[in-house]
Chain A
Amino acid sequence: SYELTQPVSVSVSPGQTASITCSGDKLGDKYVCWFQQKPGQSPVLVMYEDDKRPSGIPERFSGSNSGNTATLTITETQAADEADYYCQAWDSSVVFGGGTKLTVL
């Protein structure tokens, strides 16, 4: 079955740039979505079709996808961005990555 691999954790200082990667076989041939989930809340879509931002998501969030790796980049990271982030793609079914805990410290 298809797998998406994410780093367990990423740390970033406030105001700096955070990059969260998602790896999978030929992932660049698929569309990737990214979800942000804060404790006790439902996931929120922050990126779709690799690099499209839903309305209401700050321009600080951007995405890319090429080769075997998709990346969610957050510039000027704020304390409010601290959350778990999940990548998602379709293979023969929906697949989620294992999630990355973003810590802003």
Chain B
Amino acid sequence: QITLQESGPTLVKPTQTLTLTCTVSGFSVSTREVGVHWIRQSPGKALEWLAVIYWNEDKRYSPSLKTRLTITKDTFKNQVVLTMTNVDRVDTATYFCAHSDGVPETMAVWGRGTTITVSS
């Protein structure tokens, strides 16, 4: 059974760097054709895709946020980490990670999300 669990600080100050961790089970982040995505949802707003990292270290970022995002993976810990620099109040959101595999890829399994508040 594939599961993903997001973790991170509940509160971050403006201008700080946010680090989010997605711990997965039921698959390896290095399994061929696997991808792990990050998506966020501000309160009352739509889903917003942030980034993906693939089994082969290939990475894609949201064009509007690419300068602030870095996605990495740790095969031994079976984790995917997303860092976001210079956070602002508009980055307050629930952050989800999701699993995809195959082509065309589909985000079929999502974590429960972690809520991050940016406030001084």
Contact = CB atoms under 8 A, between A and B. Distances in A.
Interface of A: 1, 31, 33, 35, 37, 42-45, 48-49, 54, 86, 88, 90, 92-99
Contacts of B64: 1
Interface stretch (B8-16, B17-25, B83-91, B100-108): B100-108
Nearest to A33: B106
Interface of B: 37, 39, 46-49, 52, 60-64, 96, 104-108, 110-113
Contacts of A54: 108
Given A43-B47, A94-B107, 17 more contacts: A33-B107, A35-B47, A37-B47, A42-B96, A42-B112, A42-B113, A45-B106, A88-B49, A93-B49, A93-B60, A93-B63, A94-B39, A94-B49, A94-B52, A96-B46, A96-B49, A99-B46
A31 B113 contact: no
Given A42-B111, A86-B46, A99-B47, A92 B63 contact: yes
Nearest to B111: A42
A96 B50 CA distance: 11
A44 B46 CA distance: 14
B43 to A, nearest CB: 12
Contact of A43 (B61, B96, B105, B106): B96
Contacts of A90: 104-105
A97 B96 CA distance: 17
A21 to B, nearest CB: 16
B49 A95 contact: yes
A69 B106 CA distance: 19
A55 B29 CA distance: 23
Contacts of B108: 45, 48, 54
Contact of B110 (A43, A49, A92): A43
A12 B3 CA distance: 34
Nearest to A94: B49
Contact of B107 (A31, A45, A93, A97): A45
